[in-house]
Amino acid sequence: MAAAAASLPFKKNYRSSQALQQFYAGGPFAVSSDGSFIACNCGDSIKIVDSSNASLRSSIDCGSDTITALSLSPDGKLLFSAGHSRQIRVWDLSTSTCLRSWKGHDGPVMSMACHVSGGLLATGGADRKVMVWDVDGGFCTHFFKGHDGVVSIVLFHPDSNRSLLFSGSDDGTIRVWDLLAKKCASTLRGHDSTVTSLAFSEDGLTLLAAGRDKVVSLWDLHNYACKKTIPMYEVLESVCVIHSGTVLASQLGLDDQLKVTKESAQNIHFITVGERGILRIWKSEGSVCLFKQEHSDVTVISDEDDSRSGFTAAVMLPLDQGLLCVTADQQFLFYYPEKHPEGIFSLTLCRRLVGYNEEIVDMKFLGEEENFLAVATNLEQVRVYELASMSCSYVLAGHTETVLCLDTCISSSGRTLIVTGSKDNSVRLWDSESRHCIGVGVGHMGAVGAVAFSRKRQDFFVSGSSDRTLKVWSLDGISEDGVDSTNLKAKAVVAAHDKDINSVAVAPNDSLVCSGSQDRTACVWRLPDLVSVVVLKGHKRGIWSVEFSPVDQCVLTASGDKTVKIWAISDGSCLKTFEGHVSSVLRASFLTRGTQFVSCGADGLVKLWTVRTNECIATYDQHSDKVWALAVGKKTEMLATGGSDAVVNLWYDSTASDKEDAFRKEEEGVLKGQELENAVSDADYTKAIELALELRRPHKLFELFSELCRMREVGDRVERILSALSGEEVCLLLEYIREWNAKPKLCHVAQSVLSQVFRILSPTEIVEIKGIGELLEGLIPYSQRHFSRIDRLVRSTYLLDYTLTGMSVIEPEADRSAVNDGSPDKSGLEKLEDGLLGENVGEEKIQNKEELESSAYKKRKLPRSKDRSKKKSKNVVYADAAAISFRA
């Protein structure tokens, strides 16, 4: 073990990158004009995500307002939003700030659309009104009433020369509004239910409308007559027109047919999506379905299926980038048309972005190079993500209940296998290449909460269930083509625990298996017959995770009693106990060949531990809720964590890079330190102060300002230096001044520099300094104390002046300089008298002024005592003292 530890250096730090997070909660969304990003409703916020990899560009907080409608300006610079608060807001996407907002509807705004010019915004609300707004001014330009239900969709005519606005409602009608005449041009009645989508033909002369009454109607915009009604036999959510010159048109061979001629103007090709999750392409002439998708991940087979399936919207992406379909379970599916060599047309799913993963319960790295991540959430499916783009590559669907656990391995034949356990009491074996289920194991009487592949031979796997039994399943006889599904057989079964089994693990040599249960025990069993070896007792709560050491004969367990323990397999004794989590520890896994391990728990923390020293060397708080899932890469030892917050974080070992960064910073610090000394030697105080601030050396900075304060023209020099500082440097300097100001020996320099700072910066600039309130709270009390002390000293000088004058040590100045009003200046004695006696005795002081001045020249006579009355006093010779003046 020591040799292994010597070959692998300890990991000291990990850096996380948020790979998956919630960005779409269903409802409204808007695609940019170039298709590069999508604005998505996410509860009480709006997420701007990159359409290529779902990375978050920015987030807009809307307070407590639930978003009901979104729209983007044609140039993609402005975002319009509305919610239940009836507030219509205009956002600047470059700064994520609200430019203006207003209210106009009496109910929530349910739909909105921006004019092609970007100057008008149309809104439809639950109050049955349609309103048009001036974007720049925020005032209403048009107000239309006439619908008898909620306005579900509004749309401007794509031709800016035709000032028409179309609105659809759940009353089944479509109304055409003339913006110039400000009235309803026509009412189109052809649907029996809510109108969900509107689209225009390429020539702009035909309107297509889809509704929940399972039909698509075509309307002539010359006379507003219904040209045709095509039955779809499913509730429709969206209709999109295929334009000529696009890849989709060319792959279908429609370019010749879609040329705008008199003969073909009547023939329109369009796409429909709806509740059944099937994408279909239609030709209006003859009402022919040209293409029907065989199946998708959201295909509804029967009417009794879950209502969360099916499509909710579809959008033709700009710049010929394909088709975007949105599902009821918050997925964005990007389709691109392809034509196979056999001449068969198909729509290929090229990218999938998952807007919401719900609670993540388990995950594992997948593949030889661990380039994929298999994730189990509160769904019946397993989603496999590509780590490079974090796009969902494919979905494994087959379970009828929530998938609770999974494990992966590479078989002896080189196939990548996935095993899953579910609440439907079954286990399933999947082939990742064919993406098919190749084996089903039935036999458990409760939910399967734990599965684990063999570590060496990869010819079996183990499952643990809430029925308290442990089963060993053989992989013999599974399909080699990766398509056909076989029934898996259990080689051994044992009643292992008194309560639910939460975790199972197989030893590296496939000789033992360990199970952890809610009965607070972990049991080690000998394979293949599941004979009990030892029972590990000591935890005070249920055990959530077990794992064998890769090098030692010991087992790692994590429990609900907030501890992690390492046990000896030989006698079942507890070797070490690790405490540090403040809540249940849900997962723990070894790192660095058993010398370290990582743990995560219900407190949302991820901790890195060293086994030998029992020390937690790093704690990470990147989750806001329980961390249920932990995956460790066997080759790269990269980590992945996920939990109840629906966030997946990827963790990369940054020990080596941190060491390089520290060495580089130290080297740069040495070089800049030498530059600082050179600048001091050259008396280049501007550069020296900038370097001292950059190097965070407050003592050196104080010495530099002290030297400046002792020089002549200190004000001008300090002003020039402070003017050259940036805002962050000024903020840092104020922090240092706050510390200096608290010490009496340093306060004089601090006050001098502070006065220059306030003289240079305007009040507006001072207010904009980050944390200025806290800085001033630390500066004001000590500054008041210093000024009080100085004021007392100044008053003391008046008393000294008075005393020395009375002792004839100070000669009054003969010449007094006149002040502006011509009155003589007051001496220190007079000032003291003004302060001590007050203004009431001022007149009496002026009357006795001559008497006080004459008495100052007389020698004071000491009273003689009665014993020495007859003695002569000695002559005392006083030396003439030079006049001393004190200035307050």
How far, in Å, CA of 174 to CA of 146, rounded?
A: 10
pLDDT digits (tens, 9 = 90+) for 166-190: 999 999 999 999 999 999 999 999 9
8: Cα separation from own chain's centroid: 34
Q: What is the pLDDT of residue 257?
A: 55
Evaluate whether 187 touches 178 at the Cβ level (below 8 Å). Answer: no
* CA neighbor of 134 nearest in space, from 104, 110, 177: 104
pLDDT digits (tens, 9 = 90+) for 751-789: 888 888 888 888 888 888 888 888 888 888 888 888 888
The backbone torsions φ and ψ at residue 333, rounded to the nearest 5 degrees and listed phi first, read: -105, 125
How far, in Å, CA of 225 to CA of 173, rounded?
A: 13
How far, in Å, CA of 784 to CA of 169, rounded?
A: 69
| Helical (H) or strand (E) element with 836 | helix 828-837
SS3 6: helix
Q: What is the pLDDT of residue 300?
A: 58
* CA neighbor of 203 nearest in space, from 188, 185, 186, 218: 218
Residue type, 116: V
Structural tokens at position 290: 């040209």
| Helical (H) or strand (E) element with 31 | strand 29-31
pLDDT digits (tens, 9 = 90+) for 102-150: 999 999 999 999 999 999 999 999 999 999 999 998 899 999 999 999 9
SS3 2: helix
Q: How many C-beta atoms lie closer than 10 Å to residue 307's C-beta?
A: 8
DSSP-assigned letter for residue 446: S
| Helical (H) or strand (E) element with 155 | strand 151-156
How far, in Å, CA of 393 to CA of 366, rounded?
A: 12
Q: Is the pLDDT of residue 737 over 60?
A: yes
DSSP assignment string, 164-223: EEEEEETTSEEEEEETTTTEEEEEEE--SS-EEEEEE-TTS-EEEEEETTSEEEEEETTT
Which segments of 609-684 does DSSP mark as H helices, in order? 655-681
* CA neighbor of 740 nearest in space, from 781, 697, 699, 686: 699
How far, in Å, CA of 489 to CA of 469, rounded?
A: 15
pLDDT digits (tens, 9 = 90+) for 571-588: 999 999 999 999 999 999
Scanning the structure block, which residue is given the tokens 């509804």? 300
Q: What is the pLDDT of residue 770?
A: 81
How far, in Å, CA of 849 to CA of 805, rounded?
A: 14
Evaluate whether 27 touches 616 at the Cβ level (below 8 Å). Answer: no
Cα separation of the two ends of the chain: 78
pLDDT digits (tens, 9 = 90+) for 645-674: 999 999 998 888 888 888 888 888 888 888
* CA neighbor of 505 nearest in space, from 559, 545, 446: 545
Q: What is the pLDDT of residue 777?
A: 86
Burial class (CB in 10 A: 0-12, 13-18, 19+), 756: buried
pLDDT band at 218 (very low <50, low <70, confident <90, very high): very high
Evaluate whether 294 touches 325 at the Cβ level (below 8 Å). Answer: no
Question: Could you give the angle at which helices 685-694 and 655-681 cross, rounded to 10 degrees?
Answer: 160
Q: Is the pLDDT of residue 268 over 80?
A: yes
* CA neighbor of 607 nearest in space, from 627, 635, 625: 627
The backbone torsions φ and ψ at residue 237, rounded to the nearest 5 degrees and listed phi first, read: -115, -20
Query: Taking the alpha carbons of 212, 215, 216, 221 in that order, is the dihedral positive or negative?
Result: negative
Spatial neighbors of 268 by CB under 8 A, at least 6 apart, are 201, 202, 206, 208, 218, 241, 283, 284
This prediction's pTM: 0.75
Buried b (16+ CB within 10 A) or exposed e, 340-378: eeeeeeebebebbbbbbbebbbbbbbbbeebebbbbbbe
pLDDT band at 297 (very low <50, low <70, confident <90, very high): low
Spatial strand order of the sheet with 426-431 comes to 403-410, 416-422, 426-431, 436-442, 486-487
DSSP-assigned letter for residue 323: E
Cis amide linkage into residue 74, ω under 30° from 0:
no
Evaluate whether 263 touches 285 at the Cβ level (below 8 Å). Answer: no
Q: What is the pLDDT of residue 757?
A: 85
Evaluate whether 83 touches 108 at the Cβ level (below 8 Å). Answer: yes
* CA neighbor of 157 nearest in space, from 186, 135, 128: 186
Q: Is the pLDDT of residue 882 over 70?
A: no
Query: Within 13 Å, how many C-alpha atoms sit on residue 284's CB side?
Result: 26
Structural tokens at position 820: 């502006």
pLDDT band at 695 (very low <50, low <70, confident <90, very high): confident
Q: What is the pLDDT of residue 656?
A: 85
806: Cα separation from own chain's centroid: 76
pLDDT digits (tens, 9 = 90+) for 332-379: 999 999 887 777 888 888 889 999 888 999 999 998 888 999 999 988
Residue type, 34: D
How far, in Å, CA of 49 to CA of 58, rounded?
A: 7
Q: What is the pLDDT of residue 358?
A: 83
Q: Is the pLDDT of residue 305 over 80?
A: no
Percent of the chain with pLDDT over 70: 87
Q: What is the pLDDT of residue 536?
A: 96
* CA neighbor of 578 nearest in space, from 544, 542, 548, 617: 617
| Helical (H) or strand (E) element with 795 | helix 772-806
Spatial neighbors of 595 by CB under 8 A, at least 6 apart, are 1, 4, 5, 8, 10, 610, 611, 612
Query: Taking the alpha carbons of 402, 404, 410, 413 in that order, is the dihedral positive or negative?
Result: negative
423: Cα separation from own chain's centroid: 32
HEC profile for 547-609?
A: EECCCCCEEEEEECCCEEEEEECCCCCEEEEEECCCCCEEEEEEEHHHCEEEEEECCCCEEEE
How far, in Å, CA of 176 to CA of 220, rounded?
A: 12
Spatial neighbors of 767 by CB under 8 A, at least 6 apart, are none
pLDDT digits (tens, 9 = 90+) for 277-288: 899 999 998 889
SS3 821: coil
Residue type, 361: V
Spatial neighbors of 846 by CB under 8 A, at least 6 apart, are none
Spatial neighbors of 214 by CB under 8 A, at least 6 apart, are 231, 232, 233, 234, 235, 236
Q: What is the pLDDT of residue 837?
A: 43
* CA neighbor of 647 nearest in space, from 620, 671, 614: 620
Q: What is the pLDDT of residue 614?
A: 92
- What is the average pLDDT across 527-553? 94
DSSP assignment string, 265-300: TT--EEEEEETT---EEEETTTTEEEEE----TT--
pLDDT band at 810 (very low <50, low <70, confident <90, very high): low
Percent of the chain with pLDDT over 90: 54
Query: Taking the alpha carbons of 402, 404, 409, 411 in that order, is the dihedral positive or negative?
Result: negative
How far, in Å, CA of 808 to CA of 390, rounded?
A: 93
Mean pLDDT of the chain: 85
68: Cα separation from own chain's centroid: 23
Evaluate whether 221 touches 206 at the Cβ level (below 8 Å). Answer: yes
